[in-house]
Amino acid sequence: MSAFTWLGLLIIIYLFANTVLPVSNQTLGQLHLSESQYRMVLLSIIMPYCIIWVTGFYAYITFNGYTRLIDDEREMPAFRQIGFGLQTIAWGLAVPAVINTFLKALGAAHPNLQAITGVISAYLTLAVSLIAFTFIGLGARYLSDLVRRRPSYLGTRLMVFGFIAIGITYSYLTVHAQRHNGNPYHLSLFATLATIVVPYLYAWFLGFLACYELSVYARHVKGVLYKNALNQLGFGISLTVISSIFIQYITTIYANNLPNLAFIIFLLYIFLALEGIGFMLIATGAKRLKKIEEI
């Protein structure tokens, strides 16, 4: 079956599962919602998620279609790695979400399994980030090496400063959840920091660095038409990567049970919209590059 056929099945399963599967009483108590209110809030988040899934699949399929046209070009290995990273992001949005829905329902029906299902869910989502950002980072580094340009001194330091600020805040929120909000990862503090926080920060750093190196390559590549299309493609990839990181970041805030749930959902909508825009820019940029190759 085609990728979109599989995606359609995943969406149907996801919607059905979130409609009928049991909800943990602990979750309802933490959010101060009834079951019907919780399902309404959940559906308001799920529908945009499903739209993002569609745009993500469309983006990586279009991008890989362009990659197949440049088998004899020196950029091909880099674009193939980036394409695999985008494909991992797209599938990593849908498949873990469906699996996590069933894991949560299993934990709700059998409270003694909540720790196991929580750990599996956390590591599954983490694995997607590590794989996707590693391959996108490898491709971006290969492209920046082709133009023999490295990130600037000032740009590198600004990126590191911003990353440190994000890392400190993320670590604080995770430790706070560990001590005051029911330990959402169901791990010891050391295990949480060593196997959740550090790998996430490593993956996010790879993502930020890849965005920067893509922008360096796009600025120094030759050809006006090619440069414009590549700028659009690079900006789309950067927007997708950064949005993915902040969606994970917001999910951590949600896990910390902040009282303003409406504000958290509002932030989630913003970054979901940005991620969708990023996917569409990737598809549009890939189409423009494909037309250039076909001329």
Q: What is the pLDDT of residues 6-40, one digit of tens each?
A: 999 999 999 888 888 877 776 666 667 777 777 78
Q: Enter the tokens of residue 204.
A: 């996010």
Q: What is the pLDDT of residues 273-291, one digit of tens each?
A: 898 999 999 889 888 888 8
User: What phi and psi values does residue 171 have, to the nearest 5 degrees?
Assistant: -65, -40
Which residues neighbour 109 within 8 Å (Cβ) at sequence distance 6 or greater? Answer: 22
Q: Taking residues 79-89, what's their average pLDDT?
A: 91
Tell me the torsion sign for CA atoms 105, 107, 108, 109.
positive
Mean pLDDT of 260-279: 83
How does pLDDT run across 184-204, given as a tens digit for each residue? Answer: 777 888 888 899 889 988 988
| Structural domain of 75 | 3-294
Most confident region among 93-97, 237-241, 255-259 by mean pLDDT: 93-97
pLDDT recorded at residue 130: 92
The total domain count for the chain is: 1
* SS3 of residue 30 by DSSP: helix
Residue entry with tokens 């330990």: 183
pLDDT of residue 53: 92
Q: Are 142 and 81 in contact (CB under 8 A)?
A: yes
Q: Rounded distance, CA 179 to CA 256, Å? A: 10
- From the CB of residue 233, how many other CB atoms can be counted at a distance below 10 Å? 26
pLDDT band at 182 (very low <50, low <70, confident <90, very high): low
